[in-house]
C-alpha cells in the first residue's frame, strides 16, 4: 500500500518514496533546553513519533536524528534579543551547562513517558561547533555572506528561491521593511550565520572562530550543519512545528542548498499547534502546562497521547482539562473492552485482512490517526475471538504506542517514575545530594517512593 504524506514544499499530499533503499533519513528539530518542554512541544514530538512508527510499519528502514539546541536560539527568531539559554542562566544565576542538562533530562523523561522512541542519534549543538564553522566558511567562499558589527550574515538576495517553502512575499517584505534590529542588514530576510558577543556581554558559552574570539553559532546554521554531518547533504524528511516554516526552515534550505548545490530535503513535515482554552500558550496567560502538571492530577501520560491522536497532526488542537478527562476515560474503556471475550456487536465474521487494510489505509492517508483509532474501537467492540483480537491490537499498538494491552490492576511503575529513578541514581552517583532529594520529592508527588537498598533502588506505591 502506498504511503501519502502532506509535503509543505509543494503544499500537497504526495506519495512518499525514500531516496535510497538503505534507509529513510529523518531529521527532527529538537527542543531548546532553557525550560521544560510544554504539552504543545510534546504534541509535535508525538506527531513525529507516529510518523516514524508508520514508516517502520510500512516496512521502511529509518534513520533518525534529533538535535538539542543548547546555544544560539535567540528570544526573537529573526536574530534579535538575547540567547534563550544565556538569559535563563543569568536570571536563575546558575551554570548554563547545568540548565542544559536539567531540561534535556526532563525532555527525555517526558517523551519517554509518552512512549516516544528515542532517536538513533541525538546531537547537542555545542558538540558540533566545528562543522558549523566549516559550513559558514563554505558559504563565505561562495560569496553568500557579509559581515556586520554583530555577526556574519547570509545575503538572501543571492539565493534564487529564497522563501519558496513558505511562499514568502520577499519583494513585499523588502518594500515594507520595518525598522530593523540591525540596520546593517542588506535585506530584511537576511539572517545571522554566526554571531559576536556584544561588547561587555559576559557569555557562558562562546567560542573563538575565524571571525572573532567571543562568538557563537546562529540558530539556523546549527540544524543544517548537524543534519548534513549525521545524515548527508540530502534528507528524506525534516520535521518541526508550523511556526518554523517562514524563518527557521526557510533559512535552513537557503544556507544548505547554497552550500551544496543539492536539494536539502524531499519532504517537509510540519505539526500544527496545541492551543489552551482556545488561546496560544504563553507565560503571561499562565496557561503553559508541562507533563508533571497532568501527572499530579492523576492522569496517565498516555491519555495525553490518546488526546493528541484524536486529532489530525495538521489541525490545531485545543487543550482543556475536560477534553483530557474525556481522553483518559476513552483510553480506560478501550483497554477494558479489548480484553472482553464477547464483543458488544457479536460479529465474528469480520475478516482480519480487511481490518488490517482499513487501519493501514487510514494511517497511510497522511497519518489519519483518529480514523485508525476508530478501527481499533471497531475491533475492540467486535465479536472477534479474544485471541485474534489481542494479536491484532498488539500489532497495531506498535504504531499507536498507547499500551492498549496494559492491565490496570498490575500497577506497573510508570515510565515517568522509572526515568526519575534513573536520574536520581545518576545524581547520587555524582554526589549531587540536593538534586537527588528534589528527584525523590518528584517521585513522591507522582504517588511512588524510592528506597535505596544494597541491590539498587526499590520502587513501590506510596
- Compute the distance between CA of residue 265 and CA of residue 10 in angstroms, rounded to an integer: 12
The yes or no reply on residue 265 touching Zn ion (CB under 5 A) is: no
Tally the C-alpha atoms within 13 A of residue 387's C-alpha that lie toward its C-beta: 0
Which of the residues 211 through 240 are near Zn ion (CB under 5 A)?
Answer: 223
Cell of 219: 540558530
The yes or no reply on residue 195 touching ligand AMP (CB under 6 A) is: no
- Compute the distance between CA of residue 302 and CA of residue 113 in angstroms, rounded to an integer: 8
- Compute the distance between CA of residue 215 and CA of residue 212 in angstroms, rounded to an integer: 6
Contact 85, 71 (CB under 8 A): yes
Cell of 20: 535510497
Q: With CB cut-offs between 5 and 8 Å by kind, which of ligand AMP, Zn ion, none does residue 223 bind?
A: Zn ion
Residue nearest to ligand AMP (CB): 241
Nearer to ligand AMP, 40 or 301 (CB): 40
Nearer to Zn ion, 29 or 132 (CB): 29
The yes or no reply on residue 29 touching ligand AMP (CB under 6 A) is: yes
- Compute the distance between CA of residue 115 and CA of residue 416 in angstroms, rounded to an integer: 10
Least Å from the CB of residue 48 to Zn ion: 12
Nearer to ligand AMP, 288 or 439 (CB): 288
Least Å from the CB of residue 324 to ligand AMP: 15
Nearer to ligand AMP, 32 or 251 (CB): 32
The yes or no reply on residue 312 touching ligand AMP (CB under 6 A) is: no
Q: Which stretch binds ligand AMP (CB under 6 A): 74-82, 209-217, 237-245, 398-406?
A: 237-245
Query: CA of 27: how far to CAs of 119, 233, 334, in Å?
Result: 9, 12, 34
Q: With CB cut-offs between 5 and 8 Å by kind, which of ligand AMP, Zn ion, none does residue 451 bind?
A: none
Tally the C-alpha atoms within 13 A of residue 320's C-alpha that lie toward its C-beta: 6
The yes or no reply on residue 240 touching ligand AMP (CB under 6 A) is: yes
Degrees to nearest 5, angle at CA 302 with 342 and 289: 145
> Which residues fall within 8 angstroms of residue 263, CB to CB, at 6 or more apart?
234, 257
Nearer to Zn ion, 24 or 223 (CB): 223
The yes or no reply on residue 243 touching ligand AMP (CB under 6 A) is: yes
Q: Which stretch binds Zn ion (CB under 5 A): 19-27, 28-36, 322-330, 400-408?
A: 28-36
Degrees to nearest 5, angle at CA 62 with 58 and 68: 135
The yes or no reply on residue 32 touching ligand AMP (CB under 6 A) is: yes
Nearer to Zn ion, 223 or 231 (CB): 223
Q: At what angle do helices 96-113 and 415-429 cross, to 10 degrees?
A: 150
Query: CA of 233: how far to CAs of 224, 226, 258, in Å?
Result: 9, 10, 11
- Compute the distance between CA of residue 168 and CA of residue 249 in angstroms, rounded to an integer: 12
Nearer to ligand AMP, 102 or 273 (CB): 273
The yes or no reply on residue 123 touching ligand AMP (CB under 6 A) is: no
Q: Which stretch binds ligand AMP (CB under 6 A): 113-121, 273-281, 351-359, 386-394?
A: 273-281
The yes or no reply on residue 41 touching ligand AMP (CB under 6 A) is: yes
Ranges of beta strands (E only) in 416-455 are: 448-453
Nearer to ligand AMP, 32 or 115 (CB): 32
Cell of 1: 500500500
- Compute the distance between CA of residue 408 and CA of residue 398 in angstroms, rounded to an integer: 19
Nearer to ligand AMP, 263 or 273 (CB): 273
The yes or no reply on residue 29 touching Zn ion (CB under 5 A) is: yes
- Compute the distance between CA of residue 239 and CA of residue 137 in angstroms, rounded to an integer: 26
Nearer to ligand AMP, 30 or 343 (CB): 30
Contact 393, 380 (CB under 8 A): yes
Q: With CB cut-offs between 5 and 8 Å by kind, which of Zn ion, ligand AMP, none does residue 43 bind?
A: ligand AMP
Would you give the binding string for ligand AMP spanning residues 43-72, x where CB under 6 A is met?
Answer: xx----------------------------
Q: Which stretch binds ligand AMP (CB under 6 A): 36-44, 55-63, 130-138, 184-192?
A: 36-44
- The contact set with ligand AMP (CB under 6 A) reads 29, 31-32, 40-41, 43-44, 240-241, 243-244, 271, 273-274, 281
Amino acid at each position: 500500500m502506498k504511503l501519502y504524506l502532506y509535503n509543505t514544499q509543494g503544499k500537497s499530499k504526495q506519495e512518499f518514496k525514500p531516496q535510497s533503499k538503505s534507509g529513510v533519513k529523518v531529521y527532527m528539530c529538537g527542543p531548546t533546553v532553557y525550560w521544560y518542554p510544554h504539552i504543545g512541544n510534546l504534541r509535535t514530538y508525538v506527531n513525529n513519533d507516529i510518523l516514524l512508527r508508520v514508516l517502520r510499519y510500512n516496512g521502511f528502514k529509518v534513520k533518525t536524528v534529533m538535535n538539542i539546541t543548547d546555544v544560539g536560539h535567540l528570544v526573537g527568531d529573526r536574530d534579535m534579543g538575547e540567547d534563550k539559554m544565556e538569559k535563563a542562566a543569568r536570571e536563575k544565576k546558575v551554570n548554563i551547562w547545568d540548565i542544559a542538562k536539567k531540561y534535556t533530562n526532563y525532555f527525555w523523561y517526558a517523551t519517554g513517558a509518552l512512549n516516544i522512541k528515542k532517536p538513533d542519534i541525538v546531537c547537542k549543538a555545542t558538540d558540533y561547533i566545528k562543522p558549523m564553522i566549516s559550513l559558514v566558511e563554505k558559504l563565505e567562499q561562495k560569496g553568500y555572506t557579509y559581515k556586520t558589527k554583530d555577526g556574519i550574515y547570509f545575503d538572501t538576495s543571492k539565493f534564487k528561491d529564497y522563501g519558496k517553502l513558505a511562499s514568502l512575499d520577499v519583494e513585499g517584505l523588502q518594500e515594507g521593511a520595518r525598522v530593523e534590529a540591525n540596520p546593517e542588514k542588506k535585506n530584511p530576510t537576511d539572517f545571522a550565520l554566526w554571531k559576536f558577543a556584544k561588547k561587555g556581554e559576559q557569555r557562558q558559552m562562546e567560542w573563538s572562530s575565524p571571525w572573532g574570539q567571543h562568538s557563537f553559532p546562529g540558530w539556523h546554521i546549527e540544524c543544517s550543519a548537524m543534519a548534513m554531518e549525521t545524515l548527508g547533504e540530502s534528507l528524506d524528511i525534516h520535521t518541526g512545528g508550523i511556526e518554523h516554516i517562514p524563518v527557521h526552515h526557510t533559512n535552513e534550505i537557503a544556507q544548505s542548498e547554497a552550500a551544496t548545490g543539492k536539494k536539502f530535503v524531499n519532504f517537509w513535515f510540519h505539526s500544527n499547534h496545541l492551543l489552551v482554552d482556545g488561546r496560544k500558550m504563553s507565560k503571561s496567560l499562565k496557561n503553559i502546562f508541562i507533563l508533571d502538571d497532568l501527572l499530579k492530577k492523576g492522569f496517565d501520560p498516555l491519555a495525553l497521547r490518546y488526546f493528541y491522536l484524536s486529532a489530525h497532526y495538521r489541525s490545531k488542537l485545543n487543550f482543556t482539562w475536560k477534553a483530557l478527562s474525556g481522553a483518559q476515560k476513552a483510553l480506560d474503556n478501550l483497554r477494558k473492552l479489548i480484553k472482553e471475550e464477547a464483543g458488544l456487536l457479536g460479529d465474528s465474521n469480520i475478516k482480519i485482512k480487511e481490518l488490517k487494510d482499513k487501519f493501514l489505509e487510514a494511517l497511510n492517508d497522511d497519518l489519519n490517526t483518529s480514523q485508525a483509532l476508530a478501527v481499533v474501537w471497531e475491533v475492540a467492540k467486535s465479536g472477534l475471538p479474544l485471541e485474534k483480537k489481542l494479536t491484532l491490537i498488539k500489532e497495531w499498538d506498535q504504531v499507536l504506542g498507547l499500551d492498549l494491552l496494559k492491565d490496570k490492576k498490575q500497577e506497573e511503575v510508570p515510565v515517568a517514575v522509572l526515568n526519575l529513578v534513573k536520574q536520581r541514581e545518576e545524581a547520587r552517583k555524582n554526589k549531587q545530594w540536593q538534586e537527588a532529594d528534589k528527584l525523590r520529592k518528584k517521585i513522591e508527588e507522582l504517588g511512588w517512593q524510592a528506597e535505596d537498598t544494597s541491590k539498587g533502588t526499590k520502587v513501590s506505591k506510596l
